[in-house]
Amino acid sequence: MARLIDKKCKLCRREGMKLFLKGQRCFADKCALSRRDYPPGVHAQKRIKVTDYGVHLREKQKLKRIYGVLERQFRIYFENAERMKGNTGENLLSLLERRLDNVVLTAGFALSRNHARQMVNHGHFAVNERRVDVASFRVRPGDAVTVRPREKAKKMVSEAIDVNKSQSIPDWLDVKGDEMKASVVGIPRRDHVPHPIQEQLVIELCSK
Protein backbone atom coordinates (compact mmCIF):
# COMPACT_ATOMS: atom_id res chain seq x y z
CA MET A 1 0.00 0.00 0.00
CA ALA A 2 1.38 3.40 -1.00
CA ARG A 3 2.04 5.86 1.81
CA LEU A 4 3.86 9.09 2.56
CA ILE A 5 7.39 8.42 3.80
CA ASP A 6 8.81 11.95 3.92
CA LYS A 7 10.02 13.32 7.24
CA LYS A 8 7.01 14.85 8.95
CA CYS A 9 8.69 18.03 10.20
CA LYS A 10 9.99 18.80 6.71
CA LEU A 11 6.44 18.61 5.37
CA CYS A 12 5.28 21.14 7.96
CA ARG A 13 8.17 23.46 7.15
CA ARG A 14 7.45 23.19 3.43
CA GLU A 15 3.84 24.20 3.92
CA GLY A 16 4.68 26.91 6.44
CA MET A 17 2.19 25.64 9.01
CA LYS A 18 1.74 22.89 11.56
CA LEU A 19 0.08 19.89 9.95
CA PHE A 20 0.03 18.06 13.31
CA LEU A 21 1.40 14.89 11.73
CA LYS A 22 3.01 13.90 15.03
CA GLY A 23 -0.03 14.46 17.21
CA GLN A 24 0.57 16.00 20.63
CA ARG A 25 4.31 16.16 19.96
CA CYS A 26 3.62 19.06 17.59
CA PHE A 27 2.69 21.20 20.62
CA ALA A 28 6.10 20.66 22.25
CA ASP A 29 8.79 23.34 22.38
CA LYS A 30 11.05 21.27 20.12
CA CYS A 31 8.74 21.65 17.11
CA ALA A 32 10.97 22.15 14.05
CA LEU A 33 8.66 24.80 12.58
CA SER A 34 9.04 27.05 15.62
CA ARG A 35 12.83 26.87 15.34
CA ARG A 36 13.14 27.01 11.54
CA ASP A 37 10.10 28.66 10.06
CA TYR A 38 11.29 28.43 6.46
CA PRO A 39 11.10 25.61 3.87
CA PRO A 40 13.77 22.88 3.93
CA GLY A 41 16.55 22.89 1.37
CA VAL A 42 19.75 24.75 0.53
CA HIS A 43 18.03 27.58 -1.34
CA ALA A 44 14.93 27.68 0.83
CA GLN A 45 15.50 31.20 2.14
CA LYS A 46 15.88 32.78 -1.30
CA ARG A 47 13.08 35.15 -2.24
CA ILE A 48 11.07 33.41 -4.92
CA LYS A 49 8.00 34.96 -6.49
CA VAL A 50 5.00 32.70 -5.90
CA THR A 51 2.65 32.43 -8.86
CA ASP A 52 -1.12 32.08 -8.71
CA TYR A 53 -0.73 28.44 -9.68
CA GLY A 54 1.80 27.99 -6.86
CA VAL A 55 -0.66 29.31 -4.29
CA HIS A 56 -3.34 26.88 -5.49
CA LEU A 57 -0.89 23.99 -5.55
CA ARG A 58 0.29 24.62 -2.00
CA GLU A 59 -3.29 24.47 -0.71
CA LYS A 60 -3.82 21.13 -2.41
CA GLN A 61 -0.55 19.77 -1.05
CA LYS A 62 -1.48 20.88 2.46
CA LEU A 63 -4.80 19.07 2.28
CA LYS A 64 -3.25 15.88 0.90
CA ARG A 65 -0.54 15.81 3.54
CA ILE A 66 -2.86 16.55 6.45
CA TYR A 67 -5.00 13.51 5.64
CA GLY A 68 -2.14 11.36 4.35
CA VAL A 69 -3.47 10.65 0.86
CA LEU A 70 -1.54 10.49 -2.40
CA GLU A 71 -2.43 12.12 -5.73
CA ARG A 72 -4.41 9.30 -7.33
CA GLN A 73 -6.52 8.72 -4.23
CA PHE A 74 -7.05 12.46 -3.83
CA ARG A 75 -8.38 12.67 -7.40
CA ILE A 76 -10.93 9.98 -6.60
CA TYR A 77 -12.10 11.94 -3.56
CA PHE A 78 -12.43 15.07 -5.70
CA GLU A 79 -14.47 13.25 -8.38
CA ASN A 80 -16.77 11.82 -5.72
CA ALA A 81 -17.20 15.27 -4.15
CA GLU A 82 -18.12 16.75 -7.54
CA ARG A 83 -20.89 14.18 -8.03
CA MET A 84 -22.43 14.92 -4.63
CA LYS A 85 -25.04 17.61 -4.07
CA GLY A 86 -23.94 20.86 -2.48
CA ASN A 87 -20.63 22.69 -2.28
CA THR A 88 -17.81 20.61 -3.80
CA GLY A 89 -15.18 21.95 -1.40
CA GLU A 90 -17.23 21.15 1.69
CA ASN A 91 -18.10 17.73 0.25
CA LEU A 92 -14.40 17.01 -0.26
CA LEU A 93 -13.52 17.91 3.31
CA SER A 94 -16.44 15.86 4.61
CA LEU A 95 -15.28 12.76 2.69
CA LEU A 96 -11.76 13.12 4.06
CA GLU A 97 -13.02 13.60 7.61
CA ARG A 98 -15.04 10.38 7.36
CA ARG A 99 -11.98 8.22 6.68
CA LEU A 100 -11.66 5.56 9.36
CA ASP A 101 -8.11 6.56 10.30
CA ASN A 102 -9.29 10.16 10.77
CA VAL A 103 -12.21 9.03 12.94
CA VAL A 104 -9.80 7.02 15.13
CA LEU A 105 -7.54 10.07 15.46
CA THR A 106 -10.37 12.55 16.05
CA ALA A 107 -11.87 10.30 18.73
CA GLY A 108 -8.53 10.39 20.58
CA PHE A 109 -7.81 6.68 20.10
CA ALA A 110 -4.40 7.31 18.48
CA LEU A 111 -1.38 9.53 19.11
CA SER A 112 -0.98 10.70 15.51
CA ARG A 113 -2.43 10.11 12.06
CA ASN A 114 0.29 7.59 11.20
CA HIS A 115 -0.41 5.79 14.47
CA ALA A 116 -4.14 5.69 13.66
CA ARG A 117 -3.48 4.38 10.17
CA GLN A 118 -1.12 1.71 11.45
CA MET A 119 -3.60 0.46 14.06
CA VAL A 120 -6.40 0.32 11.49
CA ASN A 121 -4.21 -1.54 9.00
CA HIS A 122 -3.29 -4.05 11.70
CA GLY A 123 -6.98 -4.79 12.27
CA HIS A 124 -7.30 -3.34 15.77
CA PHE A 125 -10.66 -1.68 15.06
CA ALA A 126 -14.11 -2.87 14.08
CA VAL A 127 -17.00 -0.99 12.47
CA ASN A 128 -20.40 -2.28 13.53
CA GLU A 129 -18.60 -5.30 15.08
CA ARG A 130 -16.95 -6.23 11.79
CA ARG A 131 -13.15 -6.08 11.53
CA VAL A 132 -11.95 -3.34 9.15
CA ASP A 133 -8.29 -2.99 8.16
CA VAL A 134 -8.60 -0.32 5.46
CA ALA A 135 -7.63 3.18 6.63
CA SER A 136 -9.67 4.85 3.86
CA PHE A 137 -12.89 3.05 4.87
CA ARG A 138 -15.68 5.67 4.87
CA VAL A 139 -17.90 5.72 7.94
CA ARG A 140 -21.56 6.67 7.77
CA PRO A 141 -24.06 8.03 10.31
CA GLY A 142 -25.08 5.19 12.60
CA ASP A 143 -21.73 3.39 12.41
CA ALA A 144 -19.98 2.42 15.64
CA VAL A 145 -16.19 2.21 15.72
CA THR A 146 -14.87 0.01 18.51
CA VAL A 147 -11.55 -1.46 19.59
CA ARG A 148 -11.30 -5.18 19.03
CA PRO A 149 -10.86 -7.36 22.16
CA ARG A 150 -7.09 -7.57 22.08
CA GLU A 151 -4.94 -6.67 25.06
CA LYS A 152 -2.30 -4.95 22.92
CA ALA A 153 -4.88 -2.85 21.10
CA LYS A 154 -6.71 -1.88 24.29
CA LYS A 155 -3.44 -0.86 25.94
CA MET A 156 -2.43 1.37 23.01
CA VAL A 157 -5.85 3.01 22.82
CA SER A 158 -5.99 3.49 26.60
CA GLU A 159 -2.61 5.26 26.55
CA ALA A 160 -3.71 7.46 23.63
CA ILE A 161 -6.96 8.42 25.39
CA ASP A 162 -4.96 9.45 28.46
CA VAL A 163 -2.61 11.61 26.36
CA ASN A 164 -5.49 13.17 24.37
CA LYS A 165 -7.83 13.75 27.31
CA SER A 166 -7.78 17.52 26.74
CA GLN A 167 -8.66 17.11 23.06
CA SER A 168 -12.05 18.44 21.99
CA ILE A 169 -14.37 16.06 20.15
CA PRO A 170 -16.63 17.38 17.35
CA ASP A 171 -20.36 16.83 17.80
CA TRP A 172 -20.63 14.55 14.75
CA LEU A 173 -18.93 11.90 16.90
CA ASP A 174 -20.18 10.47 20.19
CA VAL A 175 -17.11 9.12 21.98
CA LYS A 176 -17.23 6.94 25.08
CA GLY A 177 -13.65 6.63 26.26
CA ASP A 178 -14.38 4.12 29.00
CA GLU A 179 -15.94 1.79 26.43
CA MET A 180 -13.39 2.68 23.72
CA LYS A 181 -16.24 3.35 21.34
CA ALA A 182 -16.95 6.15 18.86
CA SER A 183 -20.39 6.44 17.26
CA VAL A 184 -20.97 8.48 14.11
CA VAL A 185 -24.06 10.58 14.76
CA GLY A 186 -23.90 12.91 11.76
CA ILE A 187 -22.04 14.17 8.72
CA PRO A 188 -19.04 16.44 9.43
CA ARG A 189 -19.60 20.05 8.37
CA ARG A 190 -17.08 22.66 7.27
CA ASP A 191 -16.88 24.16 10.77
CA HIS A 192 -15.88 20.75 12.13
CA VAL A 193 -12.64 20.80 10.11
CA PRO A 194 -9.94 22.31 12.38
CA HIS A 195 -7.39 22.90 9.63
CA PRO A 196 -6.96 26.36 8.00
CA ILE A 197 -7.52 25.14 4.45
CA GLN A 198 -8.88 27.31 1.63
CA GLU A 199 -10.74 24.51 -0.10
CA GLN A 200 -12.00 26.78 -2.88
CA LEU A 201 -8.42 27.15 -4.15
CA VAL A 202 -8.11 23.37 -4.22
CA ILE A 203 -11.33 23.01 -6.21
CA GLU A 204 -10.25 25.68 -8.70
CA LEU A 205 -6.96 23.84 -9.30
CA CYS A 206 -8.50 20.38 -9.62
CA SER A 207 -11.25 21.64 -11.95
CA LYS A 208 -8.80 22.82 -14.61
Where in the chain are all domains bearing CATH 3.10.290.10? 99-186
In angstroms, the Cα distances linking 63 to 56, 70, 86, 148 are: 11, 10, 20, 30
Per CATH, the architecture of 99-186 is what? Roll (3.10)
Where in the chain are all domains bearing CATH 1.10.1050.10? 8-96+196-206
| Mean predicted lDDT score pLDDT of the chain | 83
Say whether pLDDT at 149 is over 70: yes
For residues 116 and 101, is the Cβ–Cβ distance under 8 A? yes
Q: What was the pLDDT predicted at 135?
A: 93
Angle in degrees, 0-180, between the axes of helices 8-15 and 52-67, rounded to the nearest 10: 150
Q: What was the pLDDT predicted at 90?
A: 93
Q: What was the pLDDT predicted at 47?
A: 61
pLDDT digits (tens, 9 = 90+) for 59-101: 898 888 889 898 999 999 999 999 999 899 999 999 999 999 9
Q: pTM score > 0.75 for this model?
A: yes
Q: Which CATH superfamily is domain 8-96+196-206 in?
A: Ribosomal protein S4/S9, N-terminal domain (1.10.1050.10)
| pLDDT range class, residue 114, cuts 50, 70, 90 | confident
Q: What was the pLDDT predicted at 108?
A: 92
Over residues 191-208, mean pLDDT: 86
In angstroms, the Cα distances linking 80 to 19, 85, 86 are: 24, 10, 12
Q: What was the pLDDT predicted at 74?
A: 94
Q: In what order do the strands lie in the sheet with 125-127?
A: 130-131, 125-127, 144-147, 181-184, 173-176
The three-state secondary structure class of 147 is strand
